[in-house]
Amino acid sequence: MADTIEPLILIETALLTSPVALKLEDLSRLFDGRLDDEALTNELGRLADFWRGRGLRLTQTQSGWRFQSTPEAAAALSKLTEEKPARYSRAVLETLAIIAYRQPATRGDIEEIRGVTVNPNVIRQLEERGWIEVIGHRESPGRPALFATTSLFLDDLGLKSLADLPPLAGSEPEGEEFELFTNEFKDTVSSDAPEGGRNLKLTSKSRTDSQK
């Protein structure tokens, strides 16, 4: 039956109906191995071009290929549900950003950069969301836990790897104020800050965590 369907259409259908991202090896099974990785990648490129400028876009994440709504479409679609998207405080977003860019990072690393004590609830919230995890312990007094981001973190942001994170405007977190997130990043993990999560910046200056 698959022989009678154009590969592009079959791949599109599989991606639109799959509840999870699909890897090349998954898509290859649609054609009993008749299409190699290069051919599949070419078809995926054609498919991405076809959907460009629409409400959905084809993205490659760490877990594979999948369709995601664009930030603009997602904002409008949120009006169709009564459930409000999770919103995160500036403390949560800054902690996540530090871990993402400096991983593996300990609570001490985070506190040194932010200038305030890390509230345990901030770490717990990120762990419960599935965005960070403990990957080991630093060989130093107290053997503090080392935190790193997860595959789910990359998938939720539509990223293939950590190399796809938005580049920092500054070379070191201890330096001057710098932009951490692109608009897409911030829309995904929208902040409770007055700016609605836009233009989030981090500094090494001291501040209170009253927004937790």
Structural domain spans, the chain: 2-79, 90-202
Which of 77-86, 102-111, 176-185 has the weakest average pLDDT?
176-185
Domain 90-202 has CATH 1.10.10.10: yes
What is the reported pLDDT for 211?
Answer: 35
pLDDT at 83: 64
Span 45-102, pLDDT tens digits: 999 999 999 999 999 988 899 998 888 887 788 788 766 666 778 888 889 988 998 8
What value does the mean pLDDT of the chain take? 78
- Residues above pLDDT 70, as percent of the chain: 75
Q: What is the DSSP track for the chain?
A: -GGGS-HHHHHHHHHHH-SS-B-HHHHHGGGTT-S-HHHHHHHHHHHHHHHTTSSEEEEEETTEEEEEE-HHHHHHHGGG-SSPPP-B-HHHHHHHHHHHHH-SB-HHHHHHHHSSPPPHHHHHHHHHHTSEEEEEE-SSTT-PEEEEE-HHHHHHHT-SSGGGSPPPSSSSTTSS-EE---HHHHHHT-BSSTTTTTT-EE-SS----TT-
Q: What is the arithmetic mean of pLDDT over 109-132? A: 91
Does 177 have pLDDT greater than 70? no
Q: What is the pTM of this model?
A: 0.59
Same-fold call for 2-79 versus 90-202: yes
More confident residue, 106 or 81: 106
| Domain 2-79 indexed as CATH 3.50.30.30 | no
